[in-house]
Amino acid sequence: MRSSSLSVAFAIGLVVLISFVPSPFSPVRRTAASSVTVFSDDFEGSFPGAGWTVRDEQPQSGLDYWGVNSAIVPAHGGQNSVWCAQVGMSSITGNPNSQDGVYDDNMNAVVQFQTPDLSGYAGVTLTFWVWYSIGPTDYLRVSVSPDGTTYTSVSSVGQGTSNNWEQNTLSIPLDTRYVQFLFFSDAATESVGALVDDVALVGTDSTAPTIAHTPITSATVGQSIAVTADITDNVAVAGATLYYESVGESTFASLPMNVNGNAYSATIPAQASAGSLRYYIEARDMGGNVARSPSGGAGSPYLVTVSVPETSAPPIALIAIVIIVLVAVLVVAVLAMRRRKAKGST
């Protein structure tokens, strides 16, 4: 009796365990968040590039602001980084800052970029590399803003020298629309300042796209089948594919779906014979998350019954005309026979 109870308990436990094993055809909704590079700049192209702005918030002391540099300190990657004092003249020597290799007095130089919409991500991190040699009371401050007006500091570097490139990784709010690097100096000691390179925003996304589709259940031989779906994502849809298995086939062919806004479409070629056709839709987002409709994908696809088109019955009016003609012919034939018989009897 005890052995029987243990067997039942083991069987129940096995069923429960199996129920938690995901089907190989279930929709992929990654539990480990996928990383998406939302924004990046290595400063190897033109500067300021798209989304970037530079300015001096203390122009009365002379214009000094950020620009691309390849000579002060070797870049972290590639040839270029951005230096806080690349543009401007020294108020002490009268030389260009880039010639003296040090930042100016009374600087308040800003470089910032506008971010894409971050609200759909589970989290976003700002990464950048910084090299610095900063005098007393001067600093580099990194701030974020939701509107370009109110800024919140998320990191700062003060007096000291890094002697090498250092990576910074900061979590930033999802309502961030501007990321700002501000270099401040007073009228005292100057040094090389701060250089920034390889700036990136990396978002985490574990939500797969959503597919809204009305299944097709029937078609006729010789008729192509248009498949449409409305596909959305919390961030952005990367693409969608229609998979179909033609009548009599045992493997799925694929078609990239055309997109117009959230509407996706593809057309399955006309079938040459009657039978069963199967299909499913697969959508991917920028984070590599995948959704399928139906959720079982190739394991339980939509089924389309393809039939031979019925021959349409002739119109009733045409049938009536044919009957009238046949009756008339019959009447004429009968009358003709009677006339022949009457002539024969005479």
How far, in Å, CA of 25 to CA of 252, rounded?
14
pTM above 0.75, yes or no: no
Place of tokens 């002490």: 92
202 burial via Cβ count (<10 Å: 0-12, 13-18, 19+): middle
Q: Give alpha helix (H) positions in the chain.
A: 2-19, 97-100, 316-345
Residue ranges of the domains in the chain? 34-205, 207-307
In a 13 Å sphere around the CA of 78, the CA atoms on its Cβ side amount to 14
CATH class of 34-205: mainly beta
Phi-psi region of 95 (alpha: psi -120 to 50; beta: other; left: phi over 0): beta
Q: Specify the pairing of strand 290-293 against strand 81-88.
A: unpaired
How far, in Å, CA of 272 to CA of 253, rounded?
16
CATH class of 207-307: mainly beta
- pLDDT (tens, 9 = 90+) of the chain, 346 residues, equals 444 443 434 343 433 333 333 333 333 333 345 889 999 999 999 999 889 999 999 887 789 999 999 999 999 999 999 999 999 999 889 999 999 999 999 999 999 999 999 999 999 999 999 999 999 999 999 999 999 999 999 999 999 999 899 999 999 999 999 999 999 999 887 899 999 999 999 999 989 999 999 999 999 999 999 999 999 999 999 999 999 999 999 999 999 999 999 999 999 999 999 999 999 999 999 888 999 999 999 999 999 999 998 766 667 777 788 888 888 888 887 787 877 777 766 6
Run of H or E including 291: strand 290-293
Residue 53 near residue 65 (C-beta atoms within 8 A): no
Lookup: tokens for 302:
């939509």
